[in-house]
Structure 1
């Protein structure tokens, strides 16, 4: 299970990675994890690069272990188990999620994203997902019907008030991370807001500062 803390924690989402880019990204990733506590990171593959999953994941495993950061694989149950990752992040609340839960739990984490409706999110929670994610990185746009920060914040607040299953909220910007933490997200996920920054490590520090201030009355 993804471990929650009394306050919101960071969750990083990698760019779409190929084997050719993995080593260079691994250095950036390690620096980001050293900058501030990161609870979890989701590894995403460029389409067609699944055969090179080991080469992509290997440079990320050691820094993740050193930082006590859970490393998840996107939509690839076999790779998660074979490569020693901590779990998988699955799109939707259908057969893929059911299969991931059957094969990986309770030893590994199974998260669910791309949940377009409240009913689908509730189904994922009832199925036994370790967390639900609202908002996702897809070409810089939300694809789950939560196109605005307002609608995403409303979804997060609703979930946090009603359900015990942890909630991950994907923030498009560092500033949005604070809003989502205030709304009750257990984890705030960041992608390009970190990796496209001039200093990803500094962006992670900024994000940690933002979510730490959230909800405690610090201006």
Structure 2
């Protein structure tokens, strides 16, 4: 069954996130947290990262930075997510072999395969581009299904809604990246997270047996 990859809101004051994040990490099987940071100077950013690190890493989740490759080692993060092949290739000498390097912004199947050949730890499908445009849910599902059938490298589906979390599970994603819709839910992030877990479990239970076997 896919594991959750939780993206934070853009962090300015880490204490706000610390008010809810520990309970969320205890309530669900979250493999990693993608830490998004509001712009600031490096010293302030490192302070924010270090304030959140124990809450994330002590629960067994990896802490990845959204960009900020130069801060990964200095702040004690486990890796970084890069937007596109060019940024990913530039980051590899800094991150490898000790830290996680994930990549998104992969517009074509060829780009996805190139990322895998370069040494990505995962490929992300379905995130918004610079204009906040995304492929259709069906197009993302098609990409995830193709990847699941051909490659061993983990895939991540960027879920913009609860329904997409279920759809991407059924399509064969190894991880579900959930972020904005979790934090903006009227019932609060903890209940929304639990609902997402339920949707993933339900979708996984409805998958064909051979697809479940492929996911392990």
TM-score tier (shorter): 0.7 to 0.9
Corresponding residue for residue 107 of structure 1: 98
Aligned counterpart for 1:83 among listed residues 75, 87, 106: 75
Q: After TM superposition, list the pairs within 5 Å mapping 1:23-38 onto structure 2.
A: 23-38=15-30
Aligned residues: 206
Mind listing any 5+ residue stretches in structure 1 that lack a counterpart? 1-6
- C-alpha separation between the residues in 1 aligned to 2:131 and 2:36? 14
Q: TM-score, normalised by structure 2?
A: 0.88
- The Cα offsets for residues 77-134 of structure 1, whole Å up to 9 and x where unpaired, read as 111111110101011112x312322222221100001112211111111100000001
Q: Mark the CA change 1:34 to 1:176 in structure 2 (over 3 Å): closer, same or farther.
A: same
Corresponding residue for residue 150 of structure 2: 162
Q: Mark the CA change 1:30 to 1:137 in structure 2 (over 3 Å): closer, same or farther.
A: farther
Aligned counterpart for 1:120 among listed residues 102, 107, 111: 111
Mind listing any 5+ residue stretches in structure 2 that lack a counterpart? 208-216
- The Cα offsets for residues 45-73 of structure 1, whole Å up to 9 and x where unpaired, read as 22345542122212321111222110001
Say if 2:3 is the partner of 1:9: yes
- C-alpha separation between the residues in 2 aligned to 1:12 and 1:139? 21
Q: After TM superposition, list the pairs within 5 Å mapping 1:179-198 onto structure 2.
A: 179-197=167-185, 198=187
- C-alpha separation between the residues in 2 aligned to 1:63 and 1:162? 36
1:139 offset after TM fit, Å? 8.8
Kept after mapping to 2: 8 A contact 1:157/1:183: yes
Q: Structure 1 segments of 4 or more deviating over 3 A?
A: 47-51, 137-143
Query: Greater shift after overlay, 77-86 or 43-52?
Result: 43-52
- C-alpha separation between the residues in 2 aligned to 1:66 and 1:74? 20
RMSD, aligned CA: 2.0
